[in-house]
Amino acid sequence: MWKKKGFTLIEIIIVVGIISIIIGGSVRIYSNTIAERQLDKQADGLMNILQSAKDRSVARDISPLTPLPGCTNFVGYSVFIQSNGVFEERILCDLASTTLDQHSITNVVFNSLSPSPMQLTFTYPYGSLDTATRLITIKSDRIDRCITITVPQLGPLNKSDMIAC
C-alpha cells in the first residue's frame, strides 16, 4: 500500500491563506484600537488644560506671572483654540493677555470648530465661562471616530463617549 507522507501544495496554500486573512484582520483591529486610544488621550489632555484654566481662575492663581509685577485687575484664564490643532493657555490680567503655554494635539483634528478660532475665557471668581455652553469636537485623522467635550458656562466639563462622525 502506498502511504501518504506530508502535505500537498494545495493544502499548504490554503492554510497560509487562512493565516494571512486572520493576521490581516488582527492588524487592522489593533491599528483602530491604537487610534481610538490616541484620540481618547488627546481629549483627556485638552480637558485637563481646560479644567486647569477653570480651576486657576476660581483660585485667582496668578503664580505663572511670578516674578513679573503683580496683577492689579485679574480677569481669569483663557484657552485659545485654533482649527489646526494648536491651542494656547493665557492669563488675563490688567486688560492684557499673556500666553503661558502653547500645545498642539497630534493624530486628531478639531471637527467643525465654531467659531474658529475659539477662545474660552474662564472668569474670576466662579470660573464661569464668559459665553454660553461650548462644544469642542475632536476627530481622529485615521479612523472615523469623534469625541465631544462640553464646556458649560458653570459646572464641570464633560467628555462624551467615542462616536462615529
Classified by CATH at the fold level, domain 9-164 comes out as: minor pseudopilin epsh fold (3.55.40)
Q: pLDDT tens per residue, the chain (165 residues)?
A: 567 777 889 999 999 999 999 998 899 899 999 999 999 999 999 999 999 888 888 888 777 665 556 677 888 899 998 888 888 999 888 878 888 889 888 888 888 777 778 888 898 887 788 778 889 999 988 889 999 999 988 888 999 999 998
DSSP code per residue over 8-76: -HHHHHHHHHHHHHHHHHHHHHHHHHHHHHHHHHHHHHHHHHHHHHHHHHHHT--GGGTTSPPPSSEEE
Q: Is the dihedral of CA 65, 56, 95, 46 positive or negative?
A: positive
Tell whether pTM > 0.85. no
